[in-house]
Amino acid sequence: MTSAPVPGRRERKKAATRQALADAALSMFLERGYDRVTVREIADAADVSTTTLMKHFPTKEALVFDREPEIDEALIAAVRDRPADTSVLDALRAHIHQRVASGIRQEAAPLLKLVRETPALSEYWHKMWMGHEHTLSRAIAAETGAPDDDPRCAVLAHFALETASVADRSDDPARMVDVAFDLLANGWQ
């Protein structure tokens, strides 16, 4: 088994700068509110220029959401690495349940509240989250032997992702996930 290459000094410095920016932004957003914090203030807090900040994060909203590759891989893994006796639909249900439960945890509650109460963040999150639709659709197709452009795979990916969005706005997110996946499994009766 080969180990991953150790990042060089330049990569480590970039990663540290990126993390400092994200940490400063989140701290300031939670303390003062998203709309009351400027990009300049975040850059100053991390001791970098606004140009450097924008190289790492092209938008102010992106400072809050910094896990695109991880999310994509988790969605693919939920489908690809499911137990042999678990359907794709049940694997997605379990993954969305886990994702929704992570938003309920006490340490995630302030961030979820910030996103819910800030229209720019809420819209950005939804767009970002739904941006995983194509990747998830392809993973479903690969696991079921369907063609990449199978509309059933695209519809399942869309509604599975949208379920998380609806659940996040619900007073009972876990129940909302079950209702949505029961509807996907059984249809409207």
Buried b (16+ CB within 10 A) or exposed e, 133-152: beebbbbbbebeeeeeebee
Q: Indicate the pLDDT class of residue 66, thresholds 50, 70 and 90.
A: confident
- pLDDT value at residue 109: 78
Asked if the model's pLDDT at residue 5 lies above 80, the reply is: no
Q: Indicate the pLDDT class of residue 4, thresholds 50, 70 and 90.
A: low
Cα separation of 139 and 136, whole Å?
Answer: 5
Asked if the model's pLDDT at residue 189 lies above 90, the reply is: no
Asked if the model's pLDDT at residue 1 lies above 70, the reply is: no
Contact (Cβ atoms closer than 8 angstroms) between residue 183 and residue 189: no
**Which contacts qualify for 139-147: CB closer than 8 Å, 24 or more apart?**
139/75, 139/76, 139/79, 139/80, 140/79, 140/88, 142/80, 143/79, 143/80, 143/88, 144/88
Conformational region of residue 2, where left means phi above 0, alpha means psi within -120 to 50, and beta covers everything else? beta
Cα separation of 133 and 31, whole Å?
Answer: 33
Q: How many residues does the chain have?
A: 189
- pLDDT value at residue 103: 64
